[in-house]
């Protein structure tokens, strides 16, 4: 799909604020989200019907030239088909902004494009499934790209199309100051509802940033390695190439800490009248007490996510501001939790609670903001199995061994600290490469790849916003093979 070209010296950044909408505005937001879901489901049904029809005609021996015409899977093509069907599919379409329906169609276009590329081998990573129909329990989200989108001067209200002024739960001064100074321009706004029912507004903003390490922060070691883990005292272990520990960030374990409260609430909900009758095996109207209990469960989940996100943001910001070169691991976080079954559920829960992949994602754009360099070690770099003293390997290192004992030189060191030291030696100098075991010099560069450099400014933080910006002309994506990939 076509990407928005970010000017030199500027960055795309997201500012997210909690909202306090009125009951009428909540109903309007949910109506917009329902319109996005309706447009998505309607056009997905049309796409599936055309695909099935073409497959049936092929089975009858009909030539490709005589098959039912395929549909364009681009956003522009789906929008054209939706406009021809919306009067019958959604007679109430005029009650919501056109951006609501565009949100649902954009999600469908991206899903179809990702599925087609994955099926044809043009997309790396795990296989992408065919898009599914959205239910009423799907996450509510609407993206506004046109119309009146602004932050009010009082710094306690935002204005969105068809919704008017919406009160914010927190001050918008950080964004308002930049807009008033002329160093920021709003590109779009996304209103979304979290699991606890709280609505947020995320502004995608084009910001002029000075790519330099702030002078008001404490300068740390120029090069550090960061090892991530799931232990309570070592979510992040930071070390220098010389072998000293530069810092250690404890894991918040937000999900585990709220497990007892969540278990009690879930047991209470199980004793109440829920939406499903197990005896009659039919759906029913849930009780109000069950709904209140579910709201408390959702609030507990949202609080755990907020605590986890707060710890990771503070830790990664400090790393990007205080160190020039940061070396991290490349972890297959999803693959680490994909097997094991019941015997591994405790570790899987701890891995999910730690959000290991978020550390690298946050450092990816924050290092560009603050002028530091991110070096990413290869996925198979043996940081934990290599001795930081002599360079010997210990191939049979198990996860239960928290202290690394070298069989060659007898070094005894904390496992996570040993891995962080080995990572730090990958980026000891700006002309990065692999360090010798003792860190005395560089050898042939391998095992790591440089993600960002201090001199780079183009595309700074270009992937920070929830959805990449699009060109306003409607050329937001290349059409998939016109449905032929699915036929």
pTM for this predicted structure: 0.78
In a domain, 409, yes or no: yes
- Residue 432 to residue 373: CA distance in whole angstroms: 10
Six-digit token pair at 218? 């404490």
CA nearest 142: which of 203, 83, 192?
192
How many CB atoms sit inside 10 A of residue 158's CB? 25
And the tokens for 134? 């959205």
The mean pLDDT value of the chain amounts to 83
143 located within any domain: no
Give the residue with greater pLDDT, 218 vs 158. 158
DSSP-derived secondary structure for 337-383: TSS-GGGGHHHHHHHHHHTHHHHHHHHHHHHHHTT-EEEEE-TT--T
Q: Which of 44-58, 207-221, 241-255, 365-379 has the lowest mean pLDDT?
A: 207-221
- Residue 209's SS3 state is coil
- Whether residue 147 is predicted with pLDDT greater than 80 in this model: the reply is yes
At residue 484, does pLDDT exceed 60? Answer: no
**Is 460 within a domain?**
no
Distance CA 462, CA 10 (A): 9
Cα distances (angstroms) measured from residue 439 to each of 68, 129, 240 = 66, 46, 10
In 3D, which of 329, 359, 366, 355 has the Cα closest to residue 452? 366
Q: Is residue 440 part of a domain?
A: yes
Range of the domain at 405: 223-252+296-452
Please answer whether residues 100 and 36 qualify as being in contact, where contact means their C-beta atoms are separated by less than 8 angstroms: yes
pLDDT digits 0-9 by tens, 122-139: 998 889 999 999 998 899
pLDDT in the model for residue 443: 35
Q: 323, 310, 298, 401: which is closest to 355 by C-alpha? A: 310
476 compared with 111, residue with greater pLDDT = 111
Q: Are 315 and 249 in contact (CB under 8 A)?
A: yes
Paired residues of 277 in beta bridges: 282
Predicted pLDDT of residue 211: 63
- Interval 344-356: pLDDT, tens: 788 888 888 888 8
Active site residue 113: no
Determine the average pLDDT of the residues in 74-86: 95
Q: Is 480 inside a domain boundary?
A: no
Residue 371 covered by a domain: yes
Instruction: Determine the average pLDDT of the residues in 42-55.
Output: 95
Residue range 339-368: mean pLDDT, rounded: 84
Which of 314-318, 412-416, 448-452 is the least confident region? Answer: 448-452
Cβ-count burial of 382 within 10 angstroms (0-12 exposed, 13-18 middle, 19+ buried)? middle
**Among 189-193, 195-199, 436-440, the least confident range:** 436-440
pLDDT-based confidence at 362, cuts 50/70/90?
very high
Cα separation of 106 and 476, whole Å?
A: 9
Query: Does the pLDDT value for residue 221 go beyond 90?
Result: no
Question: Over the range 344-380, which residues count as b (16 or more CB within 10 Å of their CB) and which as e?
Answer: eeeebebbebbbbbbbbebbbbbbbbbbbbbbbbeee
Q: Note the pLDDT of residue 292.
A: 95
Does the structure show a pLDDT above 90 at 332? no
Rounded mean pLDDT, 362-386: 87
pLDDT score recorded for residue 201: 97
Q: Out of 24-33, 232-241, 331-340, 370-379, which region has the weakest mean confidence (pLDDT)?
A: 331-340
Which of 31-35, 396-400, 458-462 has the weakest average pLDDT?
458-462
When pLDDT is cut at 50, 70 and 90, the band that residue 487 belongs to is very low
Dihedral of CA atoms 129, 134, 139, 140 in degrees, nearest 10, equals: 130
Catalytic residue among 329, 376, 451, 464: 329
pLDDT of 482 > 60? The answer is no
* pLDDT band per the 50, 70, 90 thresholds, residue 203: very high
Q: Which of the pair, 288 or 342, is modelled with greater confidence? A: 288
Residues 314/293, Cβ–Cβ less than 8 Å: no
Q: How confident is the model at residue 378 (pLDDT cuts 50, 70, 90)?
A: confident
Q: What is the pLDDT of residues 247-301, one digit of tens each?
A: 899 888 888 899 999 999 999 999 999 999 988 899 999 999 999 999 999 999 9
3-state secondary structure of 173: helix
Tell me what the mean pLDDT of segment 88-93 comes to: 94
Annotated active-site residue 52? The verdict is: no
Note if 353 is an active site residue.
Answer: no
Q: What is the β-pairing status of strands 325-328 and 373-377? A: parallel
pLDDT digits (tens, 9 = 90+) for 444-469: 333 444 444 433 332 333 333 333 44
Query: 353: Cβ–Cβ under 8 A, 6 or more apart, which residues?
Result: 230, 251, 253, 254, 255, 256, 304, 308
* Mean pLDDT, residues 175-183 taken together: 93
Residue 216: band (very low, low, confident or very high) from pLDDT cuts 50, 70, 90: low
Q: Quick one: average pLDDT of 480-485?
A: 41
Contact criterion met (CB below 8 Å) for 133 and 44: yes
pLDDT confidence tier of residue 435, bands split at 50, 70 and 90: very low
Q: Under a CB-based contact definition with an 8 Å cutoff, are residues 135 and 275 in contact?
A: no
- Residue 2 pLDDT grade (very low, low, confident, very high; cuts 50, 70, 90): low
Instruction: Tell me the average pLDDT across 355-383.
Output: 87
The arithmetic mean of pLDDT across residues 302-324, rounded, is 91
Catalytic residue among 376, 416, 428, 451: 416
Domains in the chain, number: 1
Query: What band does 340 get if pLDDT is binned at 50, 70 and 90?
Result: confident
According to the model, what pLDDT value does residue 409 have? Answer: 84
Selecting among 99, 227, 428, 451, the annotated active-site residue is 227
């Amino acid at each position: 799909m076509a990407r928005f070209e970010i000017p030199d010296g500027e960055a795309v950044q997201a500012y997210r604020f909690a909202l306090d909408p009125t009951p009428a505005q909540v109903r309007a937001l949910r109506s917009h989200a329902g319109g996005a879901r309706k447009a998505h489901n309607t056009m997905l049904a049309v796409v599936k019907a055309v695909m099935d029809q073409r497959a049936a005609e092929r089975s009858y021996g009909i030539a490709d030239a005589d098959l039912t015409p395929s549909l364009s899977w681009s956003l522009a093509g789906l929008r054209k088909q939706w406009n021809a069907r919306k009067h019958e599919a959604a007679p109430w379409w005029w009650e919501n902004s056109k951006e609501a329906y565009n949100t649902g169609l954009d999600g469908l276009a991206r899903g179809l494009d990702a599925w087609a590329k994955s099926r044809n081998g043009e997309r790396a990573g795990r296989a992408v499934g065919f898009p599914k129909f959205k239910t009423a329990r799907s996450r509510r989200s609407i993206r506004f790209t046109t119309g009146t989108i602004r932050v009010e001067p009082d710094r306690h209200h935002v204005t969105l199309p068809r919704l008017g002024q919406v009160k914010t739960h927190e001050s918008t001064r950080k964004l308002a100051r930049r807009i008033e100074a002329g160093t920021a321009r709003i590109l779009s706004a996304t209103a979304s509802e979290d699991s606890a029912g709280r609505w947020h507004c995320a502004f995608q903003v084009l910001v002029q940033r000075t790519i330099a390490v702030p002078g008001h922060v404490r300068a740390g070691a120029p090069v550090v390695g960061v090892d991530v883990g799931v232990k309570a005292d070592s979510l992040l272990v930071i070390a220098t190439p010389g072998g000293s520990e530069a810092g250690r960030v404890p894991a918040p374990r937000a999900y585990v800490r709220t497990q007892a409260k969540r278990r009690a609430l879930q047991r209470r909900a199980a004793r109440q009248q829920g939406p499903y009758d197990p005896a009659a095996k039919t759906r029913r109207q849930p009780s109000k007490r069950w709904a209140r209990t579910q709201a408390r469960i959702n609030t507990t989940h949202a609080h755990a996510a907020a605590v986890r996100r707060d710890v990771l943001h503070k830790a990664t910001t400090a790393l990007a501001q205080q160190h020039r070169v940061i070396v991290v691991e490349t972890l297959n976080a999803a693959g680490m939790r994909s097997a094991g079954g019941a015997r591994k559920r405790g570790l899987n829960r701890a891995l999910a609670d730690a959000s290991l992949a978020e550390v690298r994602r946050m450092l990816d754009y924050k290092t560009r903001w603050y002028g530091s360099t991110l070096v990413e070690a290869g996925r198979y770099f043996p940081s934990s199995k290599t001795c930081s003293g002599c360079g010997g390997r210990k191939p049979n290192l198990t996860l239960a061994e928290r202290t690394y004992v070298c069989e060659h030189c007898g070094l005894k060191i904390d496992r996570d600290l040993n891995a962080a030291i080995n990572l730090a030696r990958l980026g000891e100098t700006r002309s990065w490469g692999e360090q010798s075991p003792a860190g005395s010099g560089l050898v042939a560069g391998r095992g790591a790849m440089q993600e960002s450099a201090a001199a780079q400014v183009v595309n700074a933080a270009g992937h920070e916003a929830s959805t990449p910006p699009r060109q306003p002309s409607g050329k937001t994506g290349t059409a998939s093979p016109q449905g032929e990939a699915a036929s």
